[in-house]
Structure 1
Amino acid sequence: MDVGGYFLAAADALPRRLTALRAVIGAMLALASVSACAPTLRVSDFAELPGDVAREPVLTVSARAPTHDATLFGRERAETLSYGVHTVSVPPDREPGRIRYPRGTPDPMRHFTLAFAETLHGEEAFLGALNRKLSQLDEEERILVVFVHGYNETFGSGLFRFAQMMHDFEIPGVPLYFAWPSAGDPRYYAYDLDSVFISRDGLASTLRLASRAQADRIMIIAHSMGSMLTLETLRDLSEAGDSAVLNRIGQVALMSPDVSVDVFRSQLATIGDASDIDFIVFTSTRDRALQASAALRGQTDRLGSLRSIEEVSDLRLTVVDVSGFDTADPLRHSTLTMSPELIALFAGTRDFGVEAAPRAGAVRGPLSLSINVVRQATEIILAPAAAAAGAIEGTGARQQ
């Protein structure tokens, strides 16, 4: 053995290792600041709400252990699911995408509040509540919208974000919130990841129950680490041959998914063989949280920070790139839900308006887009019109 050569090689590699170590430490610090305020919220139980305040009742399924106080659910994992209806109040004067949390006495004219809470005892009571909500809608709007929150969320913060989305995007249908036991603390990324795998059976049971409701179809919206939970659950359902559930799911929207591209490909290989689900992935190359997650794993990108459509061109899906937009989120991990411009674009549209792709280079209000079709994948690049005008001039959809 060339001992001298070994030590020379080791010394030469040391700067590279230090650089890698610095990258990992930086990634850990960035993750520690992700959504640093995930508040624990309490039920306000107002006698009534002011007339100008909007109400967003949300049906909830929680895999978190109850706290038996006004916070309702904590970070601990439960052995059984809990069911309920929780009404979030939305103040009248606010910028779309923004949530102002109460820090003292909640004021529904200024804050989002957890206004009312009702416990539903068992699956049948929950199914009855679902069907009553669906029966109040026009037939074309009888959609179940299932939301699976991401990393570092409390029960209340995920509920508020879902209510904000339903309100601002004017999403038709009945909202169903699946609350898995995230620690709600940025230090416990590994705890949350373990909770994802523990919660697969709970989400599968929820989707089976939802498939029995009198809805035309089910739409799933998942954020960040919730995308991993959603995909793993769909993979389990596919392997079990549970077509009764899978056939009811029309679309799955993955927002900033914290998932490896290779893992996603393996999941879709199973899911795609058993279903016709349409997948739409919202990405941003400026997502600092996903950059940190990728660095911790020795990767360049996560699915939600995809840099090239070529990486998934063999998969049947739509990728919507929103890298061009800024929001109040310094980590740009919630661009879609917090950008007033994107909310204005998608508000009132079905399935985020991408089922029937608009023509390439089209402009709607202050926004512009370009479309690339690469084998089976479709890429839609959205940008503020002023910034994108030069980039898309003279271009159109590209078929490759």
Structure 2
Amino acid sequence: MDVSRYLCLAADAGPAGLTRLARTIGVMLALGAASACAPTLSVTEFAELPREVAQQPILTVSGRAPVHDATLFGRERSEALSYGVHTVSIPPEREPGRIRYPRGTPDPMRHFTLAFAETLDGQDAFLGGLNRKLSQLDEEERILVVFVHGYNETFGSGLFRFAQMMHDFEIPGVPLYFAWPSAGDPRFYAYDLDSVFISRDGLADTLRLAARAQADRIMIIAHSMGSMLTLEALRDLSEAGESEVLARIGQVALMSPDLSVDVFRSQLATIGDASDIDFIVFTSTRDRALRASAVLRGQTDRLGSLRSVEEVADLRLTVVDVSGFNTADPLRHSTLTMSPELIALFAGTRDFGVEAPQQAGAVRGPLSLSVNVVRQATEIILAPAAAAAGAIEGTGARQ
């Protein structure tokens, strides 16, 4: 980001330009700080968890430098990847999408906790553990689900969010968390952006390792700035001619991607036809974090805040607009993962179930939708039924 150039442009526009920039930065930092409430993570190691408490084991690959006993990780970057298994406990009584962190003595009946952690000694041990977990699943569920977190995440906050997603959405398969070294601090956007580019090789190596596993296919879920990292790694794999790795990836879901449309186009042009990946982009025009990111770049929209599918109509992808939903997130940057209504809609579906239904009865929950097919792109607009009344009549496709 060329901050000096942007400040000059703002100055040319007069005091109002500088005031808008300062206000945008202030809002982003204040809201980011308010949402970054995850405490320092520690392994609780309960003697026994109550039977009502769900347990979500997650395989982890981290590009962060280890701290403490090498099972936990901080913000510093590491030259080598670390491998492990981390089990998150999930309390039984909670609203879908919400994570309650312990502030004192953790209570597994009320809080998300890190119940268990183990370091794995290198790629072979990691691959062996991955294959054992896959072998325990039915054939149709042997999916490897890779999660790449976004900006302003600690190792623990990203881990807990992934556990919440796997549990609430009932995603089948074996979860793999790629933890790149975000600072976990809203003030250090530039640090996180540098970490994205440093982490490209690590994620590409992780996907190479994942392609050796006995999974039927790989699904990648990326959030926010993690979308940039994901697409850069796929781009590198394509440039290296590793079509066998790319062929194992069935779907890439980009949630609120903090990515310019032009950069996205450039990345897809390089990835090209080397793969048959289905790209799904979840967007919201009400995303305040992406609005601030766009202003700082002198842009109108980011990929995750598109106001018109026409901007990507020549690309083969599906855009799912979730602007109509509210969440507890003040930034509205995690609408999909934190909205109980959206969780109710997608829970139990494969690949987030975004294939356009043929009839309204195929949609579950108190929702309405419209489907708009524009050249190669498919736009699916979701809205609560009450909000959509009078605006969307039934379900259909407009050619």
The equivalent position to 1:24 in structure 2, one of 21, 37, 42, is: 21
Q: Which residue of 1 is the match for residue 357 of structure 2?
A: 358
Deviation at 1:336, TM superposition (A): 0.2
Q: Which runs of 5+ in 1 are unaligned?
A: 1-12
Q: Which runs of 5+ in 2 are unaligned?
A: 1-9
Are the equivalent residues in 2 in contact too, given 1:40–1:157 (CA < 8 A)? no
Deviation at 1:217, TM superposition (A): 0.2
Distance 1:212 1:71, change over 3 A: closer
> Which letter does structure 2 place at the counterpart of 1:19?
A
Are the equivalent residues in 2 in contact too, given 1:361–1:371 (CA < 8 A)? no
> Which letter does structure 1 place at the counterpart of 2:307?
R
Q: Which residue of 1 is the match for residue 78 of structure 2?
A: 78
Deviation at 1:69, TM superposition (A): 4.1
Larger radius of gyration: 1
Superposed CA RMSD: 1.5
CA distance in 2, matches of 1:377, 1:213: 32
Are the equivalent residues in 2 in contact too, given 1:220–1:252 (CA < 8 A)? yes
Q: Which residue of 1 is the match for residue 45 of structure 2?
A: 45
Deviation at 1:207, TM superposition (A): 0.4
Alignment of 1:277-316 (within 5 A): 277-316=277-316
CA distance in 1, matches of 2:124, 2:71: 25
Q: Which residue of 2 is the match for residue 274 of structure 1?
A: 274
Are the equivalent residues in 2 in contact too, given 1:309–1:374 (CA < 8 A)? yes
Are the equivalent residues in 2 in contact too, given 1:66–1:72 (CA < 8 A)? yes
Q: Say which SS state the counterpart of residue 95 (structure 2) adopts.
A: coil
Q: Which residue of 2 is the match for residue 336 of structure 1?
A: 336
Are the equivalent residues in 1 in contact too, given 2:322–2:381 (CA < 8 A)? yes
Q: Say which SS state the counterpart of residue 213 (structure 1) adopts.
A: coil
CA deviation profile, 1:19-74 (whole Å, cap 9, x unmatched):
22222212212321223324321111111111110000000000000012487100
> Which letter does structure 2 place at the counterpart of 1:391?
A
Are the equivalent residues in 1 in contact too, given 2:71–2:119 (CA < 8 A)? no
Alignment of 1:198-347 (within 5 A): 198-347=198-347
Structure 2 length as normaliser, TM-score? 0.94
Q: Say which SS state the counterpart of residue 94 (structure 2) adopts.
A: coil
Deviation at 1:145, TM superposition (A): 0.0
Are the equivalent residues in 2 in contact too, given 1:314–1:376 (CA < 8 A)? yes
Structure 2 residue 368 is the aligned partner of structure 1 residue 371: no
Deviation at 1:293, TM superposition (A): 0.3
Deviation at 1:361, TM superposition (A): 5.6
CA distance in 1, matches of 2:390, 2:294: 31
CA distance in 2, matches of 1:394, 1:82: 50
> Which letter does structure 1 place at the counterpart of 2:66?
P
Deviation at 1:15, TM superposition (A): 7.9
Distance 1:23 1:36, change over 3 A: farther
Structure 1 length as normaliser, TM-score? 0.94
Q: Which residue of 1 is the match for residue 147 of structure 2?
A: 147
Structure 2 residue 191 is the aligned partner of structure 1 residue 194: no
Q: Which residue of 2 is the match for residue 156 of structure 1?
A: 156
CA distance in 2, matches of 1:123, 1:289: 36
CA deviation profile, 1:333-369 (whole Å, cap 9, x unmatched):
0000000000000000000001x31136665320110
CA deviation profile, 1:172-219 (whole Å, cap 9, x unmatched):
000000000000111100000000000000000100000000000000
> Which letter does structure 2 place at the counterpart of 1:24?
L
Q: Which residue of 1 is the match for residue 393 of structure 2?
A: 393
Percentage of pairs with the same residue: 85
Q: Higher mean Cα deviation, 42-51 or 171-180?
A: 42-51
Q: Say which SS state the counterpart of residue 109 (structure 2) adopts.
A: coil
CA distance in 2, matches of 1:271, 1:15: 39
CA distance in 2, matches of 1:205, 1:102: 34
> Which letter does structure 1 place at the counterpart of 2:271?
I
